[in-house]
Structures are given as C-alpha cells and as structure tokens.
Amino acid sequence: MKRIALIVGIALASTAPVFAAGHTCSLLTKSEASRFLGTPIAFVTPESTDGTDDCRYSNASKSENVYVTVDRSADALQQMQMLGMAHTPSVSGIGAKAYFQAGTMFVQKGKIVATVAIYKGADSMNKMDPQLPTLARLLLGRL
C-alpha cells in the first residue's frame, strides 16, 4: 500500500507543474510567440543572465524577438521594489505587481518575477506593444 502511495505521489509530482526551473522555453510555444511577434519564429534559444532562466524566440534574421525571463531569486523581488520606488509606470490587472519600462514588462506572481519583451525594432522599445499585457497574463498563468 505504501509503495502504491509512493508511486502516485511521484506521478503527481512529475505531472503537476507546467513549468520547471531551467525550462523557460516550455512556457510559450513557437506558434504562440510567432502570434505575439507577428512574424514566424525561426529560433527558440534558452539563455541566462546572472543565473536567470531566459528564452529568446527570434525571427529568421534574429532582428526581432519575444524575450522571456523567469527569476525566482530575492534579487528579482528587490528589482520589483526598485521599480516601484522609481515611480516606473505600473500596469494594473496583471499578477501581484506589473511595471513597464524600456519595452519590457516586469510582472510578479508570488515570489517569482517574470520579464517579457516584444522587440520589433529600436522604436518598439519606447511604447508598450499592445500584445505585451496579453503575453504577460498568458505566462503568469503557466507559472
């Protein structure tokens, strides 16, 4: 009986989370990223900045991308505090907190901070892409 309980427990542990650390690229499919960028995605590349789990979805020429970062560290929570203190424009209705700065949306869910960006050229960094809130909500739902 104990062995059956163990098997069931392990099975649940292995299937319940949609997202595991180190697998940011599993958060968003290539076709979803393509829809947000408005152009086909040719490359899906896991990256890391200072130990974060990042994923870049790029077009064929790598000139445009959807970029997603997930950070579970205390550093990320400090980052959210700093954005608040700096009076960064906040975005309501997304996660516990959400801010927009320089083409990127920073969103918090519990102790996880995700950043999402849609880069379609330098000018796209100055105003919020209308798809960005939808993308942020979709990702938060999978964290």
Binding site for another protein (CB under 8 A): 3-4, 6-7, 10-11, 13-14, 20-23, 46-54, 56, 63, 65, 67, 69, 71, 73, 75-76, 78-79, 82-83, 86, 101-104, 106, 115-117, 119, 121-123, 125-126
Cα 59 to Cα 27: distance, rounded to the nearest angstrom: 18
Q: How far is the CB of 82 from another protein (least distance, A)?
A: 6
Query: Position of tokens 């947000």?
Result: 36
- Judged by beta carbon, residue 20 or residue 96, the one nearer another protein is 20
Q: Residue 8 CB, nearest distance to another protein (Å)?
A: 9
Nearer to another protein, 75 or 134 (CB): 75
Kindly tell me which of 18 and 96 has the beta carbon lying closer to another protein.
18
As measured in angstroms, the least distance from the Cβ of 61 to another protein is 10
| Contact call for residues 57 and 33 (beta carbons, < 8 A) | yes
CB of 86 to another protein, least distance (A): 5
Burial profile 7-31: b = 16 or more Cβ within 10 angstroms, e = fewer: eeeeeeeeeeeeeeeeebbebbeee
Which residue shows structure tokens 């997304």?
94
Closest to another protein by CB, 53 or 109 = 53
Chain centroid offset of residue 82 CA? 19
**Which three-class secondary structure state does DSSP give residue 99?**
strand
Given the complex with another protein, which of 7 and 96 has the nearer CB atom?
Answer: 7
Helices H / strands E in the chain, number of each: 4, 6
